[in-house]
Amino acid sequence: MAARPASLLILLVLAAPALVGLAGTMVLASGQLFDATVALPAFVLWATLLSVWTGFAATLLALAISFAILAAFGGRAARLLSPVAAVPHAALGLALAFLISPSGWIIRALGFDTPPDVALLHDPYGFGLILGLVIKEVPFLLIIAAAALPRLPMPLADAVKTGRMLGRSDGTTWIFGILPMLFPLIRLPVLIVLAYSLTVVDMALILGPSNPPTLAVLTLRVAQSPDIAALAPAARLALVQGLLVIGAIGFLLAAARLIRTILNRAVLAGRMTGLVSRSIIPMGRLLIMVLLGLGVLSAAALILWSFAARWSFPDLLPTAFSARAWRAGSDIGPALITTLSLGVVSALVSIVLVSALLEWRDRTRGPSGETLAAISALPLILPQAAFLFGLQVLMLRAGLRPGFGAVLFTHLAIVLPYTMLCFAGPWSALDPRLLKQAASLGASPSRVFYKVKLPLLTTPILSVLAIAFSVSVAQYLTTLMAGAGRVSTLTTEAVALSSGSDRRIAAAFGLMQAALPLAGFALALSAPRLIWRHRKGMLA
Amino acid sequence: MTLKFLLATLALIPSAALADDWQNVLDRAKGQTVYWFAWGGDQRTNDFIAHVSTLTEACCDVTIEQVKLDDTAVAVNRVLAEKTAGQTEGGAVDMIWINGPNFLAMKSQDLLHGPFAADLPNAKYLDLSKGSAAATDFTVPTDGYESAWRLARFVFQYDTARLDRPPMNMKGLPAWAAAHPGRLTHPVVTNFMGATFLKQALVSLTEDPAVLQSAPTDETYAEVTAPLWAWYDALRPNLWHDGQQWPENASIMEQMLNDGEIDVSMAFDPAAAAAAIQQGLLPATVKTYALEGGMIGNISFVAIPFNASHVDGAKVVANMLLDPKVQAHAQDINVLGSWSVLDPAKLSPDDAAAFAALPTAPALPTLDDLGPTLSEPHPDWMTRITDDFVKRYGG
C-alpha cells in the first residue's frame, strides 16, 4: 500500500510540530515546578468562563450575521467585505480601541465634555473583544460561504425560486432550506473560527477584559510572570485551553445537529414563518452597512492618529498634524523587513511543500481530500499556546536558538496547514480530463505537473500565496515565543505599542500591518492578468 | 577573613593586571552584538540606548540590539527556560535592565554572571562602599552582579487646566478620591509602577519605616500592612472604574491623562512630563509634583545572565553607561532627564562642569520641588504586597 507512507509524510509535515510541541507542553505541565500558585482557582475559573463566553458569542454572532448578509446579498457580499478579512486582528483591534474607548471617537461625537467613567474598553464582560472578533470573522465566513454556495446540493437560484413558487419568503427559504445544506459545507472553517476565538491573544490583549482576562491572556501573563516557577502552571493553563477547544467543538457540533432537527420538525409541522424569517434579509442589509461603517471609521481613525501631533479630548479631529510617527518610528523599517521576509519565505516554502505533497498524493493515490483537511485543521484548531511552550523548550534542546529561524519554523507550523487547507480544493477541482489527455499524449507525470497543473493553477496559487503571507504577517504568539523577544515584527510591535502612551506610532504600525496583506491580495488579484496578458483564455 | 588578609591578597594583584584584563575584555568584545533586554515603553530611553550603541560601536566595535520588553520578567524567564533546557552558554539574553525583585530572583537562582561591576574601569566614578546607593538594590547588596546606570524617582503628574489642587499625601487620598470619584487610578500592581504606588503608600502609612529595610516576617508583615489594606479598602470604591480594573502600565495612564479620563498620572522619571509635552503626547498645562514627605527613588542596573553569548560586549556597554559624558548626556532634559548615578566627589573638574552646564526646562521640577527621596523597602515586601493585593482585589 503506497497510501500509508504518503499519509504519514503529510501528517509529519503538517502536524508534527504541533503534536510534538503538545507533548512537550504536557511534559512541562507535569514538571517538578508544579507548586507555584500563580492565580487563584476562582480567577482561573472566571477567565475560563470569559473565554467560553467571548469565544462562543463571537462565533455564533459572526455566523448569524454572515448568514443574514448572505441571505440579503448572496455571494456578492463577500467581495465587498473581503478587505476587512485581510486586515490582521491586531490592527483592527487598535483601530476599534480608539472608536469605542471612553475618550474615543463615538463618545466624542456624542458631545461628552469629560470621558464617562465606564469600562467601554477592556470591559469586564468582553463585549469589546466580541465586537472585534465579529467584525474580523464575518468577512472570513462570508468568503468561505460564498465559495461553498456553488457546491450546494441544488443551485442557489433554484432553491430560492422553488421557495417562491411554494409561497415562501426568501428569508424562510434561506433559514429552512439553504442553511441546513450550507452548514455542513462550511463546518470546518466555522470550527477554526471557534477555536481561534476561544484562544485569541493579540486582540484580547488590545480589546479584552483585564481583571480577570480571558484564559489565553491569563496563560501568557502567567508564563511571563517574574515567578520563575510559573512555567509549569502556564503549560497547564495552555492544556486547559486545549480541553476547552475540544469541548467547545463537540458542543457546537451537537448544537448544530439539534438545530437541524428543530428546523426539520418546523418544516414538517409547517411552522416556518416567524420574526426571524421576516427580518433576516432587512437585518442583513442593515448589518452590512454597520460593518462597512465600522471598517471605514477604523481605517480613518488609524490614518488620522498616525499623522496627529496634538489631539486632545473632546476634539473630533487633531488640532495639529505631523509626520513624526512615521519619521521617528525608526523601528518600522527593520520590523517591516522582518515581517516581509517571514511572510514571503513561509508562503513560498508552504506552497512548494504543499504542491509536492499533493502531487505525490496524486501519484501514490494517497489520502482523500477529507483526510487531508482533517490533518491540516489539527494545528489550526489546537490552541497555539498548547504546543508553543513545549516547542520552545524542544527547539532549545535541539540547538535551534531563538531568532529568525525559530520564528520561521513556528510560522510554518501554522502557515503550512492553512496553505494545504486552501490549496487542496482548487487542486482537486482540476479537470481530470485535461490531465488524462496530457498523459495519453505521452506526457510524463512530471511534465503534466509542470506544463499542465501548475499553469492551470496559477490564479489559485497566487491567492493561496497571499493568504499564506497574510497568515504569517498576523502571527503574534508564535513570533513572541519562538523569537524570545528578539524578533520584532509589525504585529509584535503593534501589540506592544497598544499598551504604550503614543497612539500615533501604534497607529502607524497598525496601518503598515494592515497594508501588507492588502498589498499581497491586490498583487495576487492583478498578477494573473499580467502573466497571461497574451493568453486571455487562461484568465477564465 | 581579616582586613590584613584581604589587603595582602589585593597586593598580590598588580594594578597592571587589571588593565590587562580590561584589554582582554575589549579584544574579545570586538565585533559583538549585545542583545540588551530592556523595557521598551519609553521612546526617549530607546533613543538613548541607540545613542549609546553608536558610542560603543565607535570606540570598541560593539553594537547594541535593544530587545524591547513590556515586562522585564520576560527576560528573566527566558534565561530560566534556557537553564532548564541545559543551555549553559550561547544564551539569547546578553544584558538586562533590571532591579528589585527581578534581580533578587536571578541572583538567588544563580542566573547571573559575575561579580563584574567593580572591575569596570568607569566603576571608579561610583561610590561602591557597603550600603551605598549604587551597591544596594532595594536594600539587597548587589555584590557586583549588576552595574548601576540611571536614577529613578517616583513622581505624580496632573493637568493644571483640569485640576486646581492635586492630592498631596497618601493618607488623604481616600478623601480626595471621594470628592473626585472615578478620576484617580494606578497601574496594575503586577506592573512595577503599580507596585511602586503601593510601596509609596506603605512607606507613608507606616509609623516606623525602618522595619521595611529588612525582609518581612509574618508578624511584621501583618502589623505593617494592616493599615495599608484598610486604606485601600477606603480608597477603592472611588477609583476609576470603581477600582475593579486598572491600566496596564504608566504609559497608558499618561495617555488617559491626555484624554482627560483621569486627573493624576504617575511616572518613574521627573522629566517624563516635560518630554511628553515636547512630543505632543501631553498638553502643555501638565505639571510634575511630589507628595508631602517625599517619594520613593531607586537605581536602575544592568546585569549579565550566566549564559550570555556576549559577556565581554555587555561589559563594554555597562562600562560605557558609566562614562561621565554619557551620564551627563542622560541627565540632559532633552535626552532622558534622569539623574546621574556617579559620585559627584569623584568627578574631574571638566566632567563636573559638563553636569553644571546642563539646560533646564519649565516643566521640569527642581530638586526642591521633589523633596526627599524615600528608600525602597526590601524586595520581599513588594513581592508579598503585590501577591496579597492580587489575592484580595484581583488583577
Chain B, nearest residue to A102 by Cα = B261
Chain B, nearest residue to A232 by Cα = B81
What is the predicted pLDDT for the residue at A436?
87
A316 touches chain B (CB under 8 A): no
Mutation test of the interface with chain B: which of A228, A397, A492, choosing the one with the most B Cβ atoms within 10 A? A228
CB contact under 8 A, A499 and B248: yes
CATH superfamily of domain region B3-151+298-360 = Periplasmic binding protein-like II (3.40.190.10)
Given a contact cutoff of 8 angstroms between Cβ atoms, the answer to whether B97 and B38 are in contact is: yes
Spatial separation of the C-alpha atoms in residues B315 and A324, rounded to whole Å? 34
**B162 HSE (CA, 13 A, CB side):** 25
Spatial separation of the C-alpha atoms in residues A345 and A355, rounded to whole Å? 15
Range B122-146 average pLDDT: 91
The answer for B 96-115 residues in CB contact with A (under 8 A) is 101-102, 105, 109
- Nearest residue to B64 via CA among B51, B73, B75: B51
The answer for A 20-49 residues in CB contact with B (under 8 A) is 39-40, 43
Is A151 contained in some domain? yes
**Of residues B241, B251, B391, nearest to A501 (C-beta):** B251
**B40 HSE (CA, 13 A, CB side):** 23
Distance from CA of A511 to the nearest CA of B (A): 20
B382 touches chain A (CB under 8 A): no
Is A140 contained in some domain? yes
Which residue is listed with cell 539623574?
B339
Question: B283 to chain A: which residues are within 8 Å by CB?
Answer: 310, 312
Question: What kind of architecture, by CATH, is found in domain B155-296+372-393?
Answer: 3-Layer(aba) Sandwich (3.40)
Q: DSSP letter at B361?
A: -
CB contact under 8 A, A397 and B40: no
Residues B327-355 pLDDT 10s: 999 988 788 888 889 998 899 999 999 98
Given a contact cutoff of 8 angstroms between Cβ atoms, the answer to whether B54 and B60 are in contact is: no
Sequence spans of domains, chain B: 3-151+298-360, 155-296+372-393
3-state secondary structure of A31: coil
Distance from CA of B69 to the nearest CA of A (A): 7
Mutation test of the interface with chain A: which of B239, B241, B307, B309, choosing the one with the most A Cβ atoms within 10 A? B241
3-state secondary structure of B144: coil
Residues B45-96 pLDDT 10s: 988 999 999 999 999 999 999 988 877 888 888 898 888 888 899 998 999 9
Q: Which residues neighbour A358 within 8 Å (Cβ) at sequence distance 6 or greater? A: A423, A424, A427
A368 touches chain B (CB under 8 A): no
Q: What mean pLDDT, rounded, does chain B reach? A: 89
Q: Which of A253, A275, A295 is the last residue of a domain?
A: A295
First and final CA of chain A: distance in angstroms?
A: 39
What is the predicted pLDDT for the residue at B113?
96
The answer for A 399-428 residues in CB contact with B (under 8 A) is 401-403
Residues B240-286 pLDDT 10s: 999 988 998 888 899 999 999 999 999 988 888 988 888 888 999 99
Same domain (yes/no): A227, A154: yes
A166 touches chain B (CB under 8 A): no
Same domain (yes/no): A241, A355: no
Same domain (yes/no): A417, A498: yes
User: Which residues partner with B146 through β-bridges?
Assistant: B303
A440 touches chain B (CB under 8 A): no
Spatial separation of the C-alpha atoms in residues A375 and A373, rounded to whole Å? 5
CB contact under 8 A, A211 and B244: yes
Q: Is the pLDDT of residue A32 over 60?
A: no
Same domain (yes/no): A31, A52: no
B294: left (phi over 0), alpha (psi -120 to 50) or beta: left
Is A129 contained in some domain? yes
Is A155 contained in some domain? yes
First and final CA of chain B: distance in angstroms?
A: 48
Q: Is the pLDDT of residue B8 over 80?
A: no
CATH number at residue A151: 1.10.3720.10
Residue A152 — pLDDT band, cuts 50, 70, 90? confident
- Nearest residue to A194 via CA among A121, A125, A122, A253: A253
**A282 HSE (CA, 13 A, CB side):** 6
Same domain (yes/no): A60, A31: no
Percentage of residues of chain B with pLDDT beyond 70: 95
Question: A224 to chain B: which residues are within 8 Å by CB?
Answer: 71, 73-74, 77
Q: Is the pLDDT of residue A410 over 50?
A: yes
Q: Is the pLDDT of residue B155 over 90?
A: yes
Q: Is the pLDDT of residue B145 over 80?
A: yes
Grid coordinates representing A221 are: 501573563
- Nearest residue to A54 via CA among A234, A228, A193, A223: A193
Same domain (yes/no): A462, A502: yes
User: Which residues partner with B157 through β-bridges?
Assistant: B265, B288
Asked if B3-151+298-360 and B155-296+372-393 have one fold, the answer is yes
Query: Where does B154-252 show beta strands of DSSP type E?
Result: 155-159
One-character DSSP codes across A313-325: TT-SS-SEE-SHH
Residue A60 — pLDDT band, cuts 50, 70, 90? very high
Is A301 contained in some domain? no
Question: A122 to chain B: which residues are within 8 Å by CB?
Answer: 245
- Nearest residue to B31 via CA among B244, B367, B313: B313
Same domain (yes/no): A101, A29: no
**Of residues A211, A312, A486, nearest to B35 (C-beta):** A486
Domain carrying residue A428: 1-35+325-540
Spatial separation of the C-alpha atoms in residues A242 and A25, rounded to whole Å? 11
Residues A321-377 pLDDT 10s: 988 888 765 678 889 999 999 999 999 999 999 998 888 888 887 777 777 778 888
Range A383-387 average pLDDT: 91
Same domain (yes/no): A178, A152: yes
Grid coordinates representing B347 are: 568627578
Question: A496 to chain B: which residues are within 8 Å by CB?
Answer: 40, 68, 70
Given a contact cutoff of 8 angstroms between Cβ atoms, the answer to whether B221 and B385 are in contact is: no
Question: B252 to chain A: which residues are within 8 Å by CB?
Answer: 499-501
Same domain (yes/no): A153, A176: yes
Q: What mean pLDDT, rounded, does chain A reach? A: 87
CB contact under 8 A, A313 and B81: no
Range A265-269 average pLDDT: 83
CB contact under 8 A, A484 and B78: yes
Residue A38 — pLDDT band, cuts 50, 70, 90? low
Question: B82 to chain A: which residues are within 8 Å by CB?
Answer: 396
Given a contact cutoff of 8 angstroms between Cβ atoms, the answer to whether A354 and A416 are in contact is: yes
Residue A337 dihedral angles phi and psi, to the nearest 5°: -65, -45
Q: Can you say how many angstroms the Cα of residue A167 is from the centroid of all Cα atoms in its chain? A: 39
User: Which residues partner with B150 through β-bridges?
Assistant: B300
- Nearest residue to A274 via CA among A169, A181, A161, A156: A169
**Of residues B92, B190, B240, nearest to A117 (C-beta):** B240
Range B132-159 average pLDDT: 92
CB contact under 8 A, B188 and A210: yes
Residue B373 parent element (H or E) = strand B373-374
Same domain (yes/no): A65, A8: no
Please give the tally of structural domains in chain A: 2
The amino acid occupying position B77 is: N
CB contact under 8 A, A488 and B181: no
Residues A434-490 pLDDT 10s: 888 888 888 888 888 998 899 889 889 999 999 999 999 999 999 998 887 778 899
**Of residues A103, A392, A496, nearest to B260 (C-beta):** A103
Residue A16 — pLDDT band, cuts 50, 70, 90? confident
- Nearest residue to A453 via CA among A358, A346, A523: A358
Q: Is the pLDDT of residue A274 over 80?
A: no
Q: Which residues neighbour A120 within 8 Å (Cβ) at sequence distance 6 or greater? A: A100, A101, A102, A104, A107, A128
Residue A227 — pLDDT band, cuts 50, 70, 90? low
What is the predicted pLDDT for the residue at A476?
94
Residues A484-523 pLDDT 10s: 777 889 999 888 888 777 888 889 999 999 999 999 989 9
- Nearest residue to A19 via CA among A4, A34, A8, A35: A8
Find out whether the peptide bond into A102 is cis, omega within 30 degrees of 0.
no
What is the predicted pLDDT for the residue at A2?
44
What is the predicted pLDDT for the residue at A246?
94
The amino acid occupying position A196 is: Y
Chain B, nearest residue to A503 by Cα = B255
Residues A230-241 pLDDT 10s: 778 888 899 999
B384 touches chain A (CB under 8 A): no
Find out whether the peptide bond into B115 is cis, omega within 30 degrees of 0.
yes
Which residue is listed with cell 542622560?
B330
Grid coordinates representing B229 are: 489594606
CB contact under 8 A, B43 and A502: yes
Is A311 contained in some domain? no
What is the predicted pLDDT for the residue at A540?
54
Chain A, nearest residue to B111 by Cα = A228
Residue A456 dihedral angles phi and psi, to the nearest 5°: -65, -30
Cα dist. A306→A94, A322, A325, A493, B266 in Å?
A: 12, 8, 6, 15, 25
> What is the reported pTM?
0.84
CB contact under 8 A, B255 and A231: no
The amino acid occupying position A300 is: A
CB contact under 8 A, B188 and A328: no
- Nearest residue to B381 via CA among B239, B234, B266, B210: B210
Chain B, nearest residue to A230 by Cα = B77
Find out whether the peptide bond into A212 is cis, omega within 30 degrees of 0.
yes
